[in-house]
Amino acid sequence: MTATVVFCVTGWILGWIVFGRPRVLAPSADVIDDGPAPEPPVDQRRAIIVPARNEAHHIGGLLQDLTAATAIAAADSPGAAPTSTIIVVDDHSCDDTAELAAAVEGVVVVAAPDLPNGWTGKSWACWNGVSAALQRFDVAPAASDLQLVFIDADVNMTPEALDAVTSQQRFHGGLLSVQPRHITVSPYEQLSALFNIIAVMGVGAGHFRPPSGAFGPVFVTTLADYRRVGGHRSVRSEVAEDLALAQRYRDAGLAVNIRLGGDLISFRMYPNGVRSLLEGWTKNFTTGALSTRLLTLVATVLWVTALGSAALGLVDAIAGQSPLLYAGLYAAFVAQLAVMLHRVGRFRWWTAVLYPVGLATFFGVFAYSTWRTLVRRSTTWSGRTINLTSTAATVEAEPE
């Protein structure tokens, strides 16, 4: 009993340490990390690129948010040339994604060419989105001031969010990655709770040292830095392109900064049922674990194991074995999870209380993800089977 208690307490403490204090995106473009932001350049230009495959249920909300944000920017500079363009790259959708996007005034819809061997769909869509942006802005090869904002189609943003992320990236340089606040609606969506917390732990979002990864829903960078690291072509065969691209930035000596979306940026992941939720987390969770720093990985594993030990201890408490002690340990983990979940999303109050259900789901998904990634060497997403053993293809055309 003593060993179990010591292990659980140690794991609980490690949980706080490895989660840290993730920084939240400042609620205004005028504030950067609690300080005043520099004045934006007069000729600031932004290409907002939305890769989309079968996103008919989501694309309308994001485009409404983006057009509202760009309209505000245009109103602030009457008579000036457009500084932002919204480009939706339709990745061979089987639904009405392209038609819905084309119906939104001011949105440019580009059909992605056929997917070459060795490319994943999202990287190919983003790469072609950059090409379309350069044509749209008529950018010279030496241009460096153009900001590229890559946004997943299921993201929602407040009108202030676009200026906030571009201001943040302009201040720090390199790559800015934002993890949106995870909004849940249905009971099954609570199963994503632990995945969200562990993802934040894994990349080191709560620490001041450079993160070991990044989050893919919102990426902001400059054209110059994007070209310097080779863009999405350099990670064309990576199923977790967000982690791989962040590594390219670090290898090039460029900054990588992570923020949580807070009240500005949110998304609802996997609203189409349990199957899509399990498929989504299976796709790249093992890949993410393999890219995690060793000490962070060990601490996270110990924390997750301590969660399980506390849950098993509750069974002993119900059976009458040291009920106050084990109930107290369980309550401590419930309180810890409640605090962490409040930081990363909007979950039901009972999600933390019933965390053993989510923990069992996590163990099952992680085991299946490991088998798909390391043994079967393939995974499935958005109706595509991705072969993890394929080599990257050489693509002749590149953004110029």
Rg from Cα positions in the chain = 22
The amino acid that residue 261 corresponds to is G
The predicted structure's pLDDT at residue 84: 87
Q: What are the tens digits of pLDDT across the range 108-124?
A: 999 999 999 888 889 99
Nearest 5°: CA angle at 309, between 303 and 314?
130
DSSP calls for 238-267? -SSHHHHHHHHHHHTT--EEEEE-TTTEEE
The predicted structure's pLDDT at residue 395: 33
What is the C-alpha to C-alpha distance for residues 15 and 340, in angstroms, rounded to an integer?
10
The amino acid that residue 126 corresponds to is C
**Interacting residues of 308 by C-beta distance below 8 A, sequence separation 6+:** 356, 359
Q: Where is pLDDT greater, at 400 or 45?
A: 45
Banded model confidence at residue 323, pLDDT cuts 50, 70, 90:
confident
The predicted structure's pLDDT at residue 400: 43
Q: Which residue has the tokens 């996007």?
A: 101
Retrieve residue 241's tokens: 């392109």
What is the C-alpha to C-alpha distance for residues 169 and 176, in angstroms, rounded to an integer?
5
> Rounded to whole angstroms, what are the CA distances from 263 to 19, 26, 59, 160, 346?
20, 9, 20, 10, 11
The predicted structure's pLDDT at residue 285: 76
8 A C-beta contact, residue 162 and residue 44: no
pLDDT above 90 covers what percent of the chain?
A: 56
What is the C-alpha to C-alpha distance for residues 377 and 388, in angstroms, rounded to an integer?
5
Q: What is the largest CA-CA distance in the chain?
A: 75
Tell me the mean pLDDT in the region 349-373. 91
Residue 81 has pLDDT above 50, yes or no: no
What is the C-alpha to C-alpha distance for residues 292 and 310, in angstroms, rounded to an integer?
25
8 A C-beta contact, residue 131 and residue 396: no
Q: What are the tens digits of pLDDT across the range 245-267?
A: 999 999 999 999 999 999 999 99
What is the CA 97 to chain-centroid distance, rounded?
21
SS3 (DSSP) at 292: coil
**Interacting residues of 340 by C-beta distance below 8 A, sequence separation 6+:** 15, 19, 197, 200
Which sign does the torsion angle of CA 91, 97, 100, 105 carry?
negative
The predicted structure's pLDDT at residue 372: 76
| Domain ranges (residues) in the chain | 2-19+291-387, 31-272
For residue 178, the surrounding DSSP H or E stretch is: strand 175-179
What is the C-alpha to C-alpha distance for residues 335 and 281, in angstroms, rounded to an integer?
25
What is the C-alpha to C-alpha distance for residues 24 and 18, in angstroms, rounded to an integer?
17
Banded model confidence at residue 396, pLDDT cuts 50, 70, 90:
very low
Strands (E), 31-144: 31-32, 35-36, 45-52, 84-90, 107-111
Retrieve residue 344's tokens: 């990363």
SS3 (DSSP) at 134: helix
Q: According to DSSP H, which parts of 252-391 are helical?
A: 274-290, 294-318, 323-344, 349-353, 355-370
Residue 28's Cβ-side half-sphere holds a number of Cα atoms within 13 Å equal to 8
Q: What are the tens digits of pLDDT across the range 19-29?
A: 999 999 987 66
Q: What are the tens digits of pLDDT across the range 9-53?
A: 999 999 999 999 999 998 766 666 656 666 666 567 899 999 999
What is the C-alpha to C-alpha distance for residues 15 and 308, in angstroms, rounded to an integer?
13
Please check whether the domain covering 31-272 is classified as CATH 3.90.550.10. yes
